[in-house]
Amino acid sequence: MNDNATWMQRDLASLWHPCTQMKDHETLPVTPIRSGKGVWLEDFEGKRCLDAISSWWVNILGHANERINDRIKTQLDTLEHVILSGFTHQPVIELSERLGRLAPAGLGHCFYADNGSSAIEIALKMSYHYWHNRGRPEKRRFLTITNGYHGETLGALSVGDVAIFTDTYRSLLLDVIKVPAPDGFGLPRDQWIDQARAAFAHMEAALERHGDELAAVIVEPLIQCAGGMRMYPPEYLSWLREACDRHNVQLIFDEIAVGFGRTGTMFACEQAGVRPDYLCLSKAITGGYLPLSVVMTTDDIYAAFYDDYSTLRAFLHSHSYTGNPLACAAALATLDILEEDDVIAANRERAARIEQVTAPLRDHPHVGDVRQTGMVVAIEMVKDKATLEPYDFRERRGLKVFQHAMSRGAMLRPLGNVIYWMPPYVITPEEIDFLGEVTREGLEVATGQ
């Protein structure tokens, strides 16, 4: 039988799902999806739900986008994959050239992998190896800010700071220096910069104290996504770039979740007018179609590895599907659409509608903050609005929002007590209004008010 129940049964007999306590599925049904179109997903019984989080932040141009479909189909008939060591192909060359034109000037070399965590591992290894090749092996530690998230592999976990992901593995992780993050939680937007300036004093002190042993600083620009969509102003990135230069420390920007128009510009770092030494990209790069990630870096860093083979200076890091032609074709189609349809400019109108629809939620007695950067909005539920005391995570208020939203035909997947929207860029004003209605109802269900 081709119904939801059959697929659920087969799933639970054979799959172990990511980021899931599988025991939950004794009472919480897993949702089989048969198809998708635009912002909508459809199950095997014809019930639709609006994908309000772009299927883990990747599907920026809608499901079953015909232009991306066509580009992949054309590529499939030509070349599906080839080893990228000693060989190359047209899509990866064209994508590298194009990214070089789009990214901040000076990031002219692309190193590919197939997921965000791997991109972070590459950047960390490359930074450490750079200093080793330059005769500074003592520069081997990393500095980051609290509440960050950079992926699930051990190096990426090391520079992260979301306890539910890191605590179990702490004895396996690198010794990373962490300082308080800039965080506008609970503050009016015009006070974010003062809070960020106070937080940056800790970063400056750490660079002053540890600069001689630091390889790099790594941060998520503007939004700490998995850390609850906490946000901060671009000025922090400007101060950080200047301080890293002054202390001879490299800078890694993790734009895996926020790149490709999500924050209002192609790359979040543009809003600060700065260039990192390593720019890590993934997720939306293929429009949500295929796994691909890239680390972009500078001529100076590339030159530190460029030598005779016998010197053993080469960066001998590899992944089997590095620079896959199908994924690169999807990425090129995604960039075509962003450019030809002027999507990022059009997103300003969508973002304004999102702000208009969610602003009234600030008045809810258990909403401590409504914050927005570009096409990301977060509504944070709190136990006490006056003190911003959070709900106990064991109460699973966010799960109640999720269950209500699914019953209404919307896929909201809160991060703990934080309800957020990160919708595809093809969402309509009417669909934004619908999400606002469902979110308001979900808040009432989850908080009893």
238 assigned ligand-binding residue = no
Domain boundary, last residue among 319, 341, 363: 341
Does residue 24 sit within a domain?
no
CB neighbours (10 Å) of residue 182? 28
pLDDT of amino acid 2:
78
Query: Do residue 349 and residue 337 come from a single domain?
Result: no
In this prediction, residues 380-393 reach a mean pLDDT of 97
Q: Is position 48 annotated in a ligand binding site?
A: no
Percent of the chain residues topping a pLDDT of 70: 100
Give the list of residues 6+ apart from residue 330 with CB closer than 8 angstroms, or none: 68, 71, 72, 286, 287, 289, 290, 292
Is the sign of the CA dihedral 351, 356, 359, 360 positive or negative?
negative
Domain end position, chosen among 341, 356, 382: 341
β-pair partners for 110: 296
Any idea what the CATH number is for the domain that residue 296 is in?
3.40.640.10
Q: What is the DSSP string of 201-260?
A: HHHHHHHHHHGGGEEEEEE-SSEETTTTSEE--THHHHHHHHHHHHTT-EEEEE-TTTTT
244 plus 217 within the same structural domain: yes
How far apart CA 395 and CA 382 sit, in angstroms, is: 12
pLDDT at 1 over 90: no
User: Are the C-beta atoms of 345 and 374 separated by less than 8 Å?
Assistant: no
The reply to whether 256 and 347 lie within a common domain is no
Distances (CA, A) of 261 to 255, 271, 425: 11, 11, 9
Task: Indicate whether 21 belongs to any domain.
Answer: no
- Check whether residue 335 and residue 321 sit in a common domain: yes
- Whether residue 3 lies inside any domain: the answer is no
User: What distance in Å separates the CA atoms of residue 38 and residue 424, rounded to the nearest whole number?
Assistant: 8
Residue 92 has pLDDT above 90, yes or no: yes
**DSSP H or E segment with residue 380:** strand 376-381
| 309 marked as binding residue | no
Interval 80-105 mean pLDDT: 98
Beta strands 293-297 and 278-281, pairing class: antiparallel
Q: Both 54 and 153 in a single domain?
A: no
Question: Would the pTM of this model clear 0.75, i.e. be above it?
Answer: yes
127 annotated binding-site participant: no
Q: Whose structure tokens read 């996504």?
A: 225
Which tokens go with 403?
């269950």
Q: Please check whether residues 82 and 132 belong to one and the same domain.
A: yes
Mean pLDDT along residues 104-113: 97
More confident residue, 263 or 449: 263
* Cα–Cα distance, 252 to 111 (Å, whole number): 14
Q: Is 416 assigned a ligand-binding role in the annotation?
A: no
Task: Classify residue 268: in a domain, yes or no.
Answer: yes
- Domain membership flag for residue 15: no
Which domain range does residue 36 map to?
A: 31-64+343-447
d(CA 437, CA 50): 13
Q: For the chain, what is the mean pLDDT?
A: 97
* 198 in Cβ contact with 180 (< 8 Å): no
Within this chain, do residues 195 and 245 fall inside the same structural domain, yes or no? yes
Q: Which of 341, 363, 386 is the last residue of a domain?
A: 341
Q: What is the DSSP letter of 390?
A: P
Q: What is the pLDDT of residues 319-377, one digit of tens each?
A: 999 999 999 999 999 999 999 999 999 999 999 999 999 999 999 999 999 999 999 99
What pLDDT is attached to residue 24? Answer: 96
55-87: pLDDT as tens digits: 999 999 999 999 999 999 999 999 999 999 999
Residue 118 is assigned to a structural domain of this protein = yes
Q: Do 274 and 320 have their domain in common?
A: yes
Q: How many domains does the chain have?
A: 2
413 is in an annotated binding site: yes
**pLDDT tens, 407-447?**
999 999 999 999 999 999 999 999 999 999 999 999 999 99
Residues 130 and 233 in one domain: yes
Residue 116, marked binder: yes
Domain assignment present for residue 53? The answer is yes
Alpha helix (H) residue ranges in 234-319: 235-246, 299-304
Same domain, 178 and 92: yes
Q: Are 289 and 353 found together in one domain?
A: no
Shared domain for 218 and 138, answered yes or no, is: yes
Tell me the average pLDDT across 127-150: 98
In a domain, 17, yes or no: no
CATH number at residue 382: 3.90.1150.10
